[in-house]
Amino acid sequence: MVNAIAIMGGRVVTTDGVAEGSVLVRDGRIAAIGDFHPPADILRIEAHGALIAPGLVDVGVFAIDPPAFAAGGITRAMLMPDRAQPIDTVALVQHAAAAGKPKIWVHPLAAATRGLAGTELAEIGLMREGGACGVATGRQWIADSGVMHRLLSYAGALGLRTVVHAEDSGLAADAVMTDGETATRLGLAAAPAETEALAVARDLLLVEATGAPLHFRQVTTARALDLIRDAKKKRLPVSCGITPAHLFLADSAVTGFRTFARLSPPLRDENDHQACLVAIADGTIDVICSGHDPQGPEAKRLPFADAEPGMAGAETLLTLGMTLVRDGLISFERLFDLLATAPARLFGLPGGALVVGAEADLIVVDPNSPWRIESDKMIAAAGNTPFDGLPVQGRVMRTIKGGVSIL
């Protein structure tokens, strides 16, 4: 095993900006950044001007997919509790945390309620001791406000951030799309976009009552983003994330009954799509996550209403995020804050930034390398992506996790 690596001649991305330089890794930690003479007899990697950046920290994946994570530059994945057996015991937390070794750091999110049923709180304190980095409601919203109030009070007292899915389940019911022209034209069951704002509004009131930290895993509508923007002005401890799919696609992508574009929450109309881009630029959105939830052909090659929601997002997370930089919405340092630094900070995880002495989770990225996203060539366990056929720019050349190269 190599215990020292020098990555030379790159552009180093730190929270202070992007500067020419090199990075030295020794014994699993970052030993030097900037201009230095590398020791002899170590592995030397020439970056040739590529970006040297922190490994990505992906909030809320539904599958552990190490090859896809390495290809996408993800070194830490926060696993949702939605498994065949929901992660609601200490043993299941510990089993999930070990599942990614040695390729990936897996940080389980404990089920907020037993069996994710939304009625009885799980043993959150014990699961925190077992290694859970937060608690989550899973794919569902907790409809019972009393349960949600107790959850926030308990998790907050334990110092854990709660991750929620923001859709009012009573209004969303069996809808598979957002209400609007596309849903009407296709004749699909739809729910109004306000399902999201209703859920966000209630949970913000409960945050105000309890003072507990809360993370909305995906926020995708203008109305809900306005509520979160106002909550942040009041200094409430709230944060939110979004996926590239909701940043770059609108509900028209479903035209032709494209099941690869069936997601949860569903794709929104063009006005909401544009509001999401504004929220990235003005800092309302804290995190960009992959929403990695690959579904096999048996789940996707069905009539649209019967197909499972979900997409393979790990491999394309960074590449699509770089589009925001090229479009002038954000800088590279802001992009890596959204993809790595902020997720690590919000959930108290190591890594997420290039700092001397920190865990050596880092990536080398050629931001100019062109390629095309093709579902049938993806590394992910199932390559369903709504971006199939899209030409993109920017590719991960090397991924280093804990000082060891995994790509």
From the CB of residue 386, how many other CB atoms can be counted at a distance below 10 Å? 24
Q: Identify residue 245 by its one-letter amino acid code.
A: A
Share of the chain above pLDDT 70, in %: 100
Q: Which two tokens stand for residue 114?
A: 């037993």
pLDDT at 2: 53
How far is the C-alpha of 128 from the C-alpha of 109, rounded, in Å? Answer: 9
- Residues 242-294 have pLDDT tens digits of 999 999 999 999 999 999 999 999 999 999 999 999 999 999 999 999 999 98
Q: pLDDT tens-digit profile of 21-45? A: 999 999 999 999 998 888 888 899 9
**Paired tokens of 396:** 């991960």
What is the arithmetic mean of pLDDT over 115-132? 96
Q: What is the per-residue DSSP string for 222-282?
A: HHHHHHHHHHHHTT-SEEEEE-HHHHH--GGGGTTT-GGG--SSPP--HHHHHHHHHHHHH
Model confidence pTM above 0.85: yes
**What three-state secondary structure class fits 35?**
coil
- Is residue 236 within 8 Å of 212, Cβ to Cβ? no
pLDDT digits (tens, 9 = 90+) for 67-113: 999 999 999 999 999 999 999 999 999 999 998 888 899 999 999 99
Please tell me the distance from the alpha carbon of residue 159 to that of residue 120, in angstroms, as a whole number: 20
Contacts with 143 (C-beta within 8 Å, 6 or more apart), sequence order: 118, 168, 169, 170
Residue 1's pLDDT band, with cuts at 50, 70 and 90, is very low
Residue 216 buriedness (CB in 10 A; 0-12 / 13-18 / 19+): buried
- The mean pLDDT value for 155-164 works out to 97
Identify the pLDDT of residue 40: 84
- What mean pLDDT is predicted for residues 292-311? 89
| 312 three-state secondary structure | coil
- Confidence label for 182 from pLDDT (cuts 50, 70 and 90): very high
Give the pLDDT confidence of 189-206 residue by residue, as tens digits. Answer: 999 999 999 999 999 999
Output the CA torsion sign for 128, 134, 139, 140.
positive
Position 363: which residue type? I
Quick: pLDDT tens for 370-397.
999 998 888 877 778 999 999 999 999 9
Tokens representing 74? 């993800």
pLDDT for position 383: 77
Q: What is the CA radius of gyration of the chain?
A: 21
| pLDDT, the chain, mean | 94
Residue 374 phi, psi (nearest 5): -130, 120
Strand partners, 76: 57, 105
Q: What is the pLDDT of residue 382?
A: 74
Structure tokens at 186: 């296709």
Q: Taking phi first (over 0 means left), then psi (-120 to 50 degrees means alpha), and beta for anything else, what does residue 148 get? A: alpha
**In whole angstroms, what is the distance from residue 380 CA to residue 111 CA?**
25
Mean pLDDT across 53-63: 97
Average pLDDT of 316-341? 96
Query: Would you say residue 6 has pLDDT above 70?
Result: yes
Kindly state the average pLDDT of the residues 324-338.
96
